[in-house]
Amino acid sequence: MGSNDVPSLLNPIHPSVVERLDPVFAEIYNRYQASRLRADQVPYEVYNRDREKYTFPTAQVSGESPDVASNQIYKAPVSNPPGEINVQVYVPTPDAIAAGGLEREGLLPALVNFHGGGFVIGGLDSDESLCRKLCQRVGCIIVNVDYRLAPEYPHPISTTDSWEALKWTFKNADDLKIDPTRVGVSGLSAGACIAAALALQARDDPSLPRLAVQLLIVPVIDARFVPKEGSCDPAKTPYKSYIDFEFAPMLPLNRLIWFYNLWLGTDEGRAERANDVRASPIVATSHANLAPAIIRCAEIDPLVSEGAAYHEKLTAAGTPSKLKIYKGQGHPFGHWDGVNPTSREFVSDCVNELKTIFAQK
């Protein structure tokens, strides 16, 4: 059975991983996802007609989202192709600012965030709960970016949009009361790929201040080895997790194939696009002098090996990096903190790491 098959209307946990999953993660999956089709199990056109039908009900498992002082949406201009994207700015309450202790001369640090979704799905709502928690618990501003999505806007538009949103943040730092010396980037999955790519691009752009941090959550780091169909050849992929976790819950290999085919295409130009540093940050010629990295991975995730490989690449180049792999967890666990203790641990870890970094700058 391939990971694209749906037995008897259900997506049960595959025998290859059932014993390795944390029981709490497995229970949440069985309750909310096992009886549902995933987006990658239908044609994109079918998914696009009724996106909610194929979307995991994250709001039912995420923790209570705290109130913030404001969460205004701005329009940021983008040029490739010309248009505008939404950028939502979360500002912490006065009490949270006081508790965080990070305000300096009326300015706060900021984290520019890029949501996940394989460059194909998702939006500002995807990370809303996490954005609110980081905003309030760290006491920093969150800039959440609604970059344009494939297949209508294929690679590299997600990253070029995001780069312009990062520059927009610096340009408007005074009005937003952001300290430009304490701006970081973050993202989950595809969004972490964008964040890593922007950290590389920002390092090489003398017009921008040095980034303070790159928070990479269950990151996509190397797009070169996901096939257009079928399974990975163990002899040709450097990432063991592609093989071990081909049938992982929530993000089986087939879901990556579906995303990447829509994002990078299936024509003869696919390999060249996958080798672009904006799709595969690990191929950069240098990983030195980058913003310190915080890499958070799920153990039962086909992407875990490339997350660990990027940590090794960064540390070998002298860039500080902290890697943590959450045992027994699947790809989207970070959003499940309303019902999963390990997810709450993850959120607290992010809060503590960001507080430390923003206080040092």
What is residue 81's three-state secondary structure?
Answer: coil
Cα distance between residue 142 and residue 72, in whole Å = 11
Structure tokens at 307: 């997350």
Tell me what pLDDT residue 7 has. Answer: 44
207 catalytic per annotation? no
**Which entry of 189, 241, 321, 343 is annotated as an active-site residue?**
189
List Cβ neighbours of 1 (8 Å cut-off, separation of 6 or more): 7
Bond into 180 cis (ω within 30): no
Which contacts qualify for 237-244: CB closer than 8 Å, 24 or more apart? 238/305, 238/309, 239/302, 239/305, 239/306, 239/309, 240/305, 241/301, 241/302, 241/303, 241/304, 241/305, 241/306, 242/302, 242/305, 244/16
SS3 content of the chain, % helix, strand, coil (to 5): 40, 20, 40
**Which entry of 155, 301, 305, 343 is annotated as an active-site residue?**
301
335 catalytic per annotation? no
Residues of the chain with pLDDT under 50: 1, 5-7, 9
Structure tokens at 212: 């303070």
Cα distance between residue 80 and residue 156, in whole Å = 9
Q: The whole model's pTM is what?
A: 0.96
DSSP 13-30: PPTTTTTTS-HHHHHHHH
Burial class (CB in 10 A: 0-12, 13-18, 19+), 39: buried
Cα distance between residue 252 and residue 135, in whole Å = 31
Burial class (CB in 10 A: 0-12, 13-18, 19+), 83: middle
Phi, psi of 326 (to 5 degrees): -90, 115
On whether the CB atoms of residues 283 and 298 are closer than 8 A, the answer is: no
Tell me what pLDDT residue 361 has. Answer: 64
Q: Are strands 108-114 and 141-146 parallel, antiparallel or unpaired?
A: parallel
155 catalytic per annotation? no
List Cβ neighbours of 170 (8 Å cut-off, separation of 6 or more): 180, 183, 208, 209
Tell me what pLDDT residue 8 has. Answer: 53
**Which entry of 146, 331, 335, 337 is annotated as an active-site residue?**
331
Cα distance between residue 170 and residue 178, in whole Å = 8
CA atoms within 13 A on the CB side of 187: 31
Cα distance between residue 61 and residue 188, in whole Å = 17
